Amino acid sequence: MYGVILAGGSGTRFWPTSREQSPKQLQKIVGTRTMLQNTVQRLLPLISIENLYLGTNHQQVIETLRQLESYEFISDHLIAEPCNRNTALAIGLIAKLIIDKDADAVMAVFPADHVVANPENFIKTLQKAEVLAEKGYLVTLGIPPTRPETGFGYLQQGAEIEDGAYKVERFVEKPDRPKAEQYLQHGKYFWNCGVFVWKASTILEELHKYAENIYSQLEAIAGCIQNAKAKPAYLELNEAGRDLFSSLPSLSIDYAVMEHSSKVALIPADIGWNDVGAWNSLDDVSEKDSKGNIISGNVLVQDCNNSIVQAQNRLIAVLGLKDTIVVDSPDALLVCAKERSQDVKKLVESLNENGHLEAKQSSTVNKPWGSYTVLDSGPTYLLKRIEVLPGEALSLQSHQHRSEHWTVVSGSAEVMRNKETFHLKNNDSITIPKNTKHRLGNPGLELLTIIEIQFGHLLDEADISRYEDRYGRC
């Protein structure tokens, strides 16, 4: 079986931990691994790593690769979409890649940011779905509802196809509360969890039938796929492909195909699924203390109940809280009534409207070569911690308006300054005057950490002239 993980989401309900540029699937929302790492790990008993495909977007591709590097991930299985066009196009394009390799392939599609508490049942259910998919069905997993949830779509169970598998009577959009209560009591409604199993050929046929505008461009877009210039490698679209991709409608696979097709089947799946849709979802999936609190990091808790407190690099002391969420990050803090978790999304919209960069970007910014973190700033200086991954290097560049002072605090650096090359180790410093061509690289086997002091009267990321770049950013 082939696996497809759709990891391009940019949810904002987990702000400030997740940001537009570092969304939920790339965060450790539950436990010690990221949601994406957990999603891959969960599939490996059934799907070998070389049969796994990932769709993400160009902003997140480097961090996605980094998080999966321990899997020796195969570079031609990760495609970076130029923009978000929802699931129908992403699924169609990857189905095209798979079918070109294996005409009879069965593929399973998974969101990258859900929790499955019962992975054994999950695998068993997928095996059952595979059998049905071989017969030409579009199989969906239906989660038995445990509450009158108004945030999910529902599947209504139809006639039995075979033992434990049913036709789908209809797809139901997110219901209002009274409807959701009816569905819960009725017993034959299931949550649509976004996990699908089908033959690549079947889904392409159905896209052909119900979403001709998307289907008709898949071949052309697939022809525009190229290896990105960046290292580690991934797939991207050339300019023609990006234009084509962007011109297509943004449709979910549910809306484009599943709601119309007669081939849809349902397997009820009791797999401990949770979409972890907002901070209060942690109540269902995280460990609690004796008073119902979920605590992580450097936190002193006194007389709190049913609260969620996540510290990062600073101490948090909480006293007498009830049903309250406190989530810290280096540059932004959320304090929120737990019952308002769903509205964090709107809060982030307000932050965006008010021009708060903290809505989009965290203080640590990922780059192809590593990352930087802004530590302090003043009218004429900006202070950064720069981390360069082993073997990587920044572009050959110069700045018009700033000089830079670098001190190596761990690892070793190779610095080109004009025509000279310097080999710096721990405790060495170097100054790069403005208008001086320079390049910083990590020739070593361990992480290089540098403290950078930028000095100048105009300090702007855009003040950069690139002369050479191994990630194609010239």
Interacting residue ranges for its own copies, rule: CB under 8 A: 15-16, 300, 302-303, 309, 314-322, 324, 326, 328, 330-337, 339-340, 343-344, 346-347, 350-351, 354, 356, 358, 375-376, 378-381, 383, 385, 403, 405, 407, 409-410, 426-427, 429, 431, 449, 451, 453, 455
Please state the closest distance from residue 368 (CB atom) to its own copies, in A. 23
Instruction: Specify the residue for token string 């790339």.
Output: 26
Nearer to its own copies, 260 or 401 (CB): 401
280: helix, coil or strand? Answer: helix
Nearer to its own copies, 23 or 145 (CB): 23
Nearer to its own copies, 112 or 311 (CB): 311
Going by their DSSP bridges, the two strands 106-111 and 154-162 should be labelled as: unpaired
Please state the closest distance from residue 314 (CB atom) to its own copies, in A. 6
Please state the closest distance from residue 413 (CB atom) to its own copies, in A. 14
Angle at which helix 239-247 crosses helix 212-223, to 10 degrees, equals 170
Please state the closest distance from residue 344 (CB atom) to its own copies, in A. 7
- 35 backbone dihedrals φ, ψ, rounded to 5°: -55, -40
Nearer to its own copies, 86 or 362 (CB): 362
Angle at 300 between CA 336 and CA 22, to 5 degrees: 50
The CA–CA distances, whole Å, from 127 to 12, 116, 139, 197, 275 equal 33, 16, 11, 10, 22
CA distance 350 to 302: 32
Sign of CA dihedral 96, 10, 375, 301: negative
Please state the closest distance from residue 122 (CB atom) to its own copies, in A. 34
Nearer to its own copies, 176 or 378 (CB): 378
217: helix, coil or strand? Answer: helix
Nearer to its own copies, 36 or 336 (CB): 336
Nearer to its own copies, 188 or 385 (CB): 385
Nearer to its own copies, 264 or 294 (CB): 294
Q: Which of 51, 22, 46, 27 is nearest to 38 (CA)?
A: 27
Task: Give the DSSP per-residue string, 386-414.
Answer: EEE-TT-BPPEEE-SSEEEEEEEEESEEE
Nearer to its own copies, 202 or 324 (CB): 324
| Other CB atoms within 10 Å distance of the CB of residue 472 | 12
Please state the closest distance from residue 163 (CB atom) to its own copies, in A. 47
Please state the closest distance from residue 100 (CB atom) to its own copies, in A. 47
**CB under 8 Å to 473, separation ≥6 — which residues?**
368, 395, 466
Please state the closest distance from residue 466 (CB atom) to its own copies, in A. 24
CA distance 71 to 34: 14
Q: Which amino acid is at 37?
A: Q
- Retrieve residue 39's tokens: 């999603």
- Retrieve residue 135's tokens: 């017969």
CA dihedral 293→294→299→300, nearest 10 degrees, is 10
Q: Which of 439, 448, 397, 402 is nearest to 421 (CA)?
A: 439
Please state the closest distance from residue 335 (CB atom) to its own copies, in A. 5
Nearer to its own copies, 285 or 383 (CB): 383
Please state the closest distance from residue 24 (CB atom) to its own copies, in A. 17
Please state the closest distance from residue 342 (CB atom) to its own copies, in A. 10
Nearer to its own copies, 9 or 16 (CB): 16
Q: Which of 457, 449, 454, 460 is nearest to 438 (CA)?
A: 454
Please state the closest distance from residue 331 (CB atom) to its own copies, in A. 6
Burial 390-422 (b: 16+ CB within 10 A, else e): eebbbbbbbbeebebbbbbeebbbbbbbeeeee
Nearer to its own copies, 42 or 385 (CB): 385
Is 406 within 8 Å of 415 (Cβ atoms)? yes
